[in-house]
Amino acid sequence: MNTPVSLDVDQARARLGELTVIDVRTPGEYASGHLPGALNVPLDRLRHALPALGKARTGLLMVCASGNRSANACALLAEHGVAAATLTGGTGAWAERGHALHRPAATARAGWSMERQVRFTAGTVVLTGLGLGLLRPGWRLLSAGVAGGLVFSALTDTCGMAAMLAKLPHNRPRPADLDATLAALEERVS
């Protein structure tokens, strides 16, 4: 089994021309800014792209916002015998080092990052639970459930709410978009 490799921003930038960059964030996050030349294959669609990724002739660099999802992507690829590296710190670290992110001109409005969507949803549910708790105290359990979920998320470095939000229509690639990405990937491996 292949062991995932971590590349820091400087290492990744130096090797950018020899790597196929795969951004595993949602389409909305990808549209808000991604590494130059990156292809978007959301993490939950990665299994669908395995055949094309397995044929890659260049090294694969998996990228997300912070490095967590891309590390998960590397682990999944390693299970299937595909070597890949992850960008330590993700697009956040890339931008912090002063490197440009590509933002497609055709994007009328960039989507919210997954972290922002989770914070908004968690905050809304907590406030709703507290507000309804004024009418019936049992509703406060809703807020307690979200608080427990956030603690569990921090301890396990996973996020069930993000996994659920990723399935919403605005976070899903249109089939044509994923097909175009896979076709572009096929061109790079041919």
Average pLDDT over residues 64-75: 92
- Give me the percent of the chain exceeding a pLDDT of 70: 90
Asked if residue 110 has pLDDT above 60, the reply is: no
Which residue is it, tokens 């639970």? 129
Average pLDDT over residues 22-41: 89
Asked if residue 186 has pLDDT above 90, the reply is: no
Residue 165: predicted pLDDT: 87
Highest mean pLDDT among 39-48, 157-166, 181-190: 39-48
| pTM for the full predicted model | 0.70
Average pLDDT over residues 34-57: 89
Residue 1: predicted pLDDT: 43
CA 10, 16, 19, 25 torsion-angle sign: positive
In the chain, the domains with their CATH numbers are 5-111+172-189 (3.40.250.10), 114-158 (no CATH)
Average pLDDT over residues 99-106: 79
Residue 4: predicted pLDDT: 65
Q: Convert the pLDDT of each residue in 121-179 to its tens digit.
A: 999 999 999 999 999 999 999 999 999 999 998 888 788 888 888 888 777 766 657 77
Q: Convert the pLDDT of each residue in 128-138 to its tens digit.
A: 999 999 999 99
Contacts of 128 (CB under 8 A, 6+ apart): 142
Residue 21: predicted pLDDT: 94
Give the full edge-to-edge strand order of the sheet including 85-87: 5-7, 85-87, 59-63, 19-23, 39-40
Q: Is 125 exposed, middle or buried (0-12, 13-18, 19+ CB in 10 A)?
A: middle
